Amino acid sequence: MRRLALSATLALALSACGGASRQSAAPTLPPANPKAVSKMAQGVAAAKEKGGEARAIELLRASVKMDPNLWEARYDLGVLLAERGELTDAEKELGAAFKLAPNAEDVAVALAETRRRLGDPSEAVAVLEPFVKKQPKAVAARIALVSALRESGKVDQAIEHAHEVLVRRPSDPSALAELAMSHLERGETDTAELLITEALKGDPNNAVAERTAGLISLKKGDDAVAFRHFAHASELDPKDTTARLNTGTVLLQAGVYDKAAEEFRAVTAIKPDDVPAALGLAASLRGLGSRDKPGPYHEAEKILKGILDREPKNASALFNLGILYSDFLQRPADAKPVLQKFLDVSSKSNPARAEAQRIVAGQKK
């Protein structure tokens, strides 16, 4: 997963009416409020300090309140909120920033990434596809589009866009890794392996390529090799928790719930508000519980409620909590309102809707 990064475009904010304009379609904005820009600068500085995240968010909110058209402040605020796992609020700020600066690639990619994390890759595609059509040289946006298309089930289109990147950057390890993942999705393991070998040959210390190599090895059944790749990815980028998240996800899918829980706990120890890790931990605990030993179920419930306290409309947390109540804690009366809310907030394309509708309707499997 591509890590979001704070904007440092303070000079741009001071100079050009609050927004970038690489394309003529960008809206004309009034001059930026200098006091709002000052607050934004303080917010960016606070975000770089240890433990300064909450203060940074407070300052950036103040900046946006002073000047709602200051898209850089909205972008920075959205990025920080996403880092904290407050994805619904992050999507709101990034969406507003994108309307104000529709030609800013960082904003488009951050908005799409947040929508993917909210479990709606099709909405990420809706941002990125028209963006790269207008700006065909936007490599980062096109690589993000490859991921979103693949996760939306449009693998052939994902491969086409990956090739577009490689025309411009023949050895780009991120593009090769995404192309490898797309071929892996089609079951073409040998092709995926060749591509990721090429990526690692060009950049042996690329954490993204190492993680992808791990996923390919898992698909082949080479678990030991896969976990070596994941471990190496963590060594290359110790602050990047994605490798542990991937390892935990694979262990979860394999039913190795105790080891999966260890990996997810390691992520949440570094990033307490990491929503995907919290969801994975809750799912692992669900697998560890039983009627005789319901303790893990109750811990999973607490974790999911914690997510929903921060993000009341988090579709994944709502669905998982509803399933926990319905199928594991045997509390159908609690499950129905939770799953009804899931149906209210989730996209029509969400594959979990059918199961939720069945439970809400009181139908048996």
Shared-domain flag, residues 148 and 75 = no
What is the pLDDT, as a whole number, of residue 173?
93
Q: Kindly state whether residue 321 falls inside one of the protein's structural domains.
A: yes
C-alpha angle 176-180-185 in degrees, rounded to nearest 5: 150
What is the pLDDT, as a whole number, of residue 365?
65
Shared-domain flag, residues 125 and 87 = no
Collapsing DSSP to helix, strand or coil, 86 comes out as: coil
Q: Which amino acid is at 164?
A: E
Total domains in the chain come to: 3
What is the domain range of residue 53? Answer: 1-115
Shared-domain flag, residues 301 and 334 = yes
Please say which residue of 97, 115, 133 terminates a domain. 115
Please say which residue of 93, 115, 137 terminates a domain. 115
Please say which residue of 115, 138, 165 terminates a domain. 115
Residue by residue, DSSP assigns 203-232 as -TT-HHHHHHHHHHHHHHT-HHHHHHHHHH
Shared-domain flag, residues 293 and 198 = no
Q: Kindly state whether residue 245 falls inside one of the protein's structural domains.
A: no
Q: What is the 3-state secondary structure (H, E, C) of 249-279?
A: HHHHHCCCHHHHHHHHHHHHHHCCCCHHHHH
Shared-domain flag, residues 189 and 146 = yes
Shared-domain flag, residues 312 and 293 = yes
Confirm if 189 and 212 have CB atoms less than 8 A apart: no
Following CA atoms 214, 218, 220, 222 in sequence, which dihedral angle do they give, to the nearest 10 degrees? 90
Q: Kindly state whether residue 92 falls inside one of the protein's structural domains.
A: yes
Confirm if 141 and 171 have CB atoms less than 8 A apart: no
Shared-domain flag, residues 163 and 52 = no
Rounded CA-CA distance 211/244 in Å is 10
Shared-domain flag, residues 99 and 125 = no
What is the pLDDT, as a whole number, of residue 337?
96
Question: In this structure, what CATH number is given to the domain that contains residue 92?
Answer: 1.25.40.10
Shared-domain flag, residues 291 and 208 = no
Q: Kindly state whether residue 70 falls inside one of the protein's structural domains.
A: yes
Shared-domain flag, residues 125 and 233 = yes
Shared-domain flag, residues 67 and 142 = no
What is the pLDDT, as a whole number, of residue 263?
86
Count of CB atoms within 10 A of residue 25's CB? 9
Q: Kindly state whether residue 247 falls inside one of the protein's structural domains.
A: no
Shared-domain flag, residues 109 and 201 = no
Q: Kindly state whether residue 271 falls inside one of the protein's structural domains.
A: yes
Q: Kindly state whether residue 158 falls inside one of the protein's structural domains.
A: yes
Q: Kindly state whether residue 249 falls inside one of the protein's structural domains.
A: no
CA nearest neighbour of 100 among 9, 21, 4, 41 = 21
Per-residue pLDDT of the chain (365 residues; tens, 9 = 90+): 333 334 433 333 333 333 333 454 567 888 889 999 999 999 999 999 988 888 999 999 999 999 999 999 999 999 998 887 777 889 999 999 999 999 999 999 999 999 888 778 899 999 999 999 999 999 999 999 999 999 899 999 999 999 999 999 988 999 999 999 999 999 999 999 999 999 999 999 998 899 899 889 988 988 889 888 988 888 888 777 777 787 788 788 878 899 889 889 988 988 887 888 999 999 999 999 999 999 999 999 999 999 999 888 888 999 999 999 999 999 999 999 999 999 998 877 788 899 999 999 987 76
